[in-house]
Amino acid sequence: MSAINRYLLTTILFSLSCSALAELTIKEGYVRGLPPGQPNTAAFMRLVNTADQDVVITGAASNGAELAEVHSHKHHHGMMSMEKVDQLTVPANGELVLAPGKYHLMLINLTRPLRESDEVLIRLFNDEEELTRATLPVRSVLNER
Ligand SMILES: [Cu+2]
């Protein structure tokens, strides 16, 4: 293979992998800041998928917690409970909102106190690779919309 062909192939492969990464974007995200001593908190965001295929999220990670899980909220006989969700589908050319009382990203066993205006890295994965990441601000629960 000539040098120019090798260059072209590299460029094509690189742009393919970049477009795969850019399909899913985290918008308007924030982490709920709670009073000190709370072991867990939640992150909320809008997930935007600009691809022609659904994007399936099967895992998450954060630099602010030992564990990050997608949860749903359930109401049962007037009681509210949370449940781990194994996969979350963001529809093709669509979006999915993680908001208080709905889906959320649970940050379990916080590794440091999270104060207003701190920043937390959130990463979302499928079974093979990282789909997207974003640095989200901490917003005190008192200032939540
Ligand atoms: Cu939860």
Decide: 14 and 57 in contact? Cβ < 8 Å. no
Quick: pLDDT tens for 22-78. 599 999 999 999 988 999 999 999 999 999 999 999 999 999 999 999 999 988 788
What kind of architecture, by CATH, is found in domain 24-143?
Answer: Sandwich (2.60)
Higher pLDDT pick, 120 / 8:
120
Using the 8-state DSSP alphabet, how is residue 63 labeled? T
Structure confidence at residue 97 (pLDDT): 97
Decide: 126 and 89 in contact? Cβ < 8 Å. no
Quick: pLDDT tens for 100-112. 989 999 999 999 9
Helix (H, G, I), strand (E, B) or coil at 129: coil
| Cα 42 to ligand 1 centre (Å) | 7
| Cα 14 to ligand 1 centre (Å) | 37
| Cα 54 to ligand 1 centre (Å) | 24
Structure confidence at residue 40 (pLDDT): 96
Higher pLDDT pick, 11 / 21:
11
Report the pLDDT averaged over residues 8-23: 58
Structure confidence at residue 130 (pLDDT): 96
| Cα 4 to ligand 1 centre (Å) | 52
Alpha carbon 131 to its chain's center: 9
Pairing verdict, β 130-140 and 24-33: parallel
pLDDT higher than 60, residue 2: yes
| Cα 100 to ligand 1 centre (Å) | 10
Decide: 107 and 42 in contact? Cβ < 8 Å. yes
Residues within 5 Å of ion ligand 1 by Cβ?
71, 82, 106
Helix (H, G, I), strand (E, B) or coil at 82: strand
